[in-house]
Amino acid sequence: MFEVVIRVDASEQIGLGHIMRCLTLADMLKQRGASTTFISRPLPQAIYVQIKKHGHKIRILRDKFILLEDADAVIQILHSFEAVIDLLIIDQYELDYVWERCIRPYVKHIAVIDDLANRRHDCDFLLDQNFVENMEGRYNKLVPPECQLFLGPKNALLRQEFYTNIEKVQPRNKVDSALVSFGGSDPTGETMKIVRAIRKGILPKLHYSIVIGGANARAKEIEDQCRQLKNISVHLNAQNMSELILESDICIGSPGISTWERCILGLPSIHIIVADNQLETAFALEKAGLAWNMGWHNDVNLDELGRLITSLQQHPEHVEKMSRRIIDLMESAVICKVNPMIDAIFEGGTS
C-alpha cells in the first residue's frame, strides 16, 4: 500500500485552514489507494474526530514546538511504521529545509504545501495555490532544481462537493444575500464584528448567512446575537458550504484558504485581512479586479463596508463583472477536476 504521512497543525490561533486542505488531499490520496497518517500537535477535538471519521490515522506530538526536537519526534513515529513511507507531505510554516533534511533519509519523497515563499525547502513537489504577482518566479532558489512546482489557483485543493456543483454556477448580478465566513476559528473575532454591524444597521438589510467554524470560541455568543434577527441564518460547522456559496451574491470574509472554494463557484468577495500570510494574495486579487479589499482587520471601517455593499446593490453590473472574472480565473481548475500534484505523484513521480 502507498504509505503517506502528513505533518500539519491546527489550533484556534493559527486556524483550521491548513489541516482542512490536508484532509482534502488525504481523501484524494485515499481514493487512489493510499494509507494516510496525520502527525500534528494537539488538535481541536472536532477536527480530531473529523480526521478519524474520514478513515485516516493520527499521531499527536507534544504541544511545545522546537524545530529539531519536532524532527526527532517525527522520526520516532516513522520508525514505528512497518512499511516504507512513500510520501511525506508538509503544511507548516515553521518547517523548512533544515527539518526536511533531517527527515529525508526516512521517506522516499517529500511534498510541501506553502503560501509564503519565504524560506528554503528540500522537497520533490511544492504546491502553492495562491494568486500573487510573479508567481512563476516565486520559488527561484528556494527549492531544488528537480522539484516539480504546482503554482496558482488552478492547483487549489478543493473538496469534491465544489466540483459537483460547478454546473450550477451563474455569474452573480444582484446583491440580495451575503455569506459571512472567516474560517474555522476566526481568532480575531471578525464574525462578531459583522453581526454587531448588522444589528446596529451599519450594514444594509440583506439576508446574511453566518458560517461559524468548528473551533470558533465565540460560537455561542454569535448564535445568541443572531437569534432575534430574521435576516440572519447561522450555520455552525457547516457541511454544505458549496450550497451556501451558490445561494449567496457576495461574501464578506478573509482571503485565506477558503478563497478558492468561493472563486470556483463564482462568488465575489469583500476581503478583511486577518493574518500576515493573506496580505500578498489580498492585494493581488484586488489589483486584478478579482476581489474588494477592506484592508487589515484592525483598520476596517464598518461604515465604509456598509457604503461599499450599498454601492454594489445600486450597481450590480460591478458584481457581475467581477463574478465573470473569477469564473474565468478558475476555468483551468474546473477542467482539471483532479489536483495536478496528485496525478504527478501517482504517474511515476514517486517511482
Using one digit for the tens of pLDDT, what is the confidence trace for 154-201? 999 999 999 999 999 999 999 999 999 999 999 999 999 999 999 999
**For the residues 265-289, what does the mean pLDDT come to?**
97
User: Mean pLDDT score of the chain, rounded to an integer?
Assistant: 94
Q: Torsion angle of alpha carbons 52, 71, 183, 150, nearest 10°?
A: -100
- Complete domains list, the chain, with CATH: 2-151 (3.40.50.11190), 162-333 (3.40.50.2000)
**pLDDT score of 142 more than 70:** yes
Distance CA 22, CA 90 (A): 9
| Better pLDDT: 134 or 310 | 310
Enumerate long-range contacts of 328-332, CB under 8 Å, 24 or more apart: 329/131, 329/153, 329/263, 329/290, 330/153, 330/154, 330/156, 330/260, 330/263, 330/264, 332/154
User: Smallest Cα–Cα separation from 129: which of 159, 152, 158?
Assistant: 152
For 2-52, write each residue's pLDDT tens digit.
Answer: 999 999 999 877 889 999 999 999 999 999 999 999 999 999 888 999 999
Band (pLDDT 50/70/90 cuts) for residue 337 is low
- Among all chains, which residue has been given the C-alpha cell 488531499? 25
Query: According to the model, what pLDDT value does residue 44 have?
Result: 87
C-beta separation of 235 from 209 below 8 A = yes
Catalytic annotation present for 18: yes
**pLDDT score of 351 more than 60:** no
**For the residues 69-78, what does the mean pLDDT come to?**
96
Extended strands (E) in the chain: 2-8, 34-40, 57-60, 85-91, 107-113, 125-128, 148-151, 177-181, 207-212, 232-236, 250-253, 269-273, 292-296
Band (pLDDT 50/70/90 cuts) for residue 346 is confident
| Better pLDDT: 345 or 282 | 282
261 is in an annotated binding site: yes
Enumerate long-range contacts of 308-311, CB under 8 Å, 24 or more apart: 308/270, 309/175, 309/178, 309/203, 309/204, 309/206, 309/250, 309/270, 310/204
Q: Any idea what the Cα angle at residue 25 is, between residues 21 and 29, rounded to 5°?
A: 170
C-beta separation of 253 from 285 below 8 A = no
For 190-226, write each residue's pLDDT tens digit.
Answer: 999 999 999 999 999 999 999 998 889 999 999 999 9
159 is in an annotated binding site: yes
Band (pLDDT 50/70/90 cuts) for residue 300 is very high
Query: According to the model, what pLDDT value does residue 188 have?
Result: 96
Share of the chain above pLDDT 90, in %: 87
User: Smallest Cα–Cα separation from 182: which of 150, 212, 222?
Assistant: 212
Q: Torsion angle of alpha carbons 165, 168, 172, 178, nearest 10°?
A: -50
**pLDDT score of 108 more than 80:** yes
Share of the chain above pLDDT 70, in %: 98
Which of 18, 56, 235, 271 is the catalytic position?
18
Band (pLDDT 50/70/90 cuts) for residue 336 is low
**pLDDT score of 350 more than 80:** no
pTM of the model: 0.93
